[in-house]
């Protein structure tokens, strides 16, 4: 495992711990993206764009179910 991957995995674990303390749930999709980023398979910008698209889709589905 490369030093960069170790550093990124530590960052993911820290972010997950902070979210757990704050009571913010982490979706399995977000976890998958985080691992892909840690492995260097995604850039930070790609991960952010994927998460935003996912959450927009979820929000739209929820909005439609309320109408």
Q: CA triplet 49, 58, 42: central angle to 5 degrees? A: 25
Residue 67: predicted pLDDT: 76
Coil, strand, or helix at residue 15?
Answer: helix
Total domains in the chain come to 1
The mean of the pLDDT values for the chain is 93
Answering whether pTM is above 0.75, one says yes
Cα–Cα distance measured from residue 56 to residue 12, given in angstroms and rounded to the nearest whole number: 23
Domain of residue 8 covers: 3-66
Cβ–Cβ < 8 Å for 12, 34: yes
Cβ–Cβ < 8 Å for 47, 37: yes
Coil, strand, or helix at residue 34?
Answer: helix
Residue 53: predicted pLDDT: 96
């Amino acid at each position: 495992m490369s030093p960069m991957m170790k550093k990124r995995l530590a960052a993911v674990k820290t972010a997950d711990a902070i979210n757990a303390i704050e009571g913010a749930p982490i979706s399995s999709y977000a976890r998958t993206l985080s691992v892909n980023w840690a492995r260097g398979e995604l850039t930070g910008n790609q991960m952010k764009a994927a998460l935003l698209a996912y959450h927009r889709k979820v929000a739209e589905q929820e909005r439609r179910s309320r109408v």
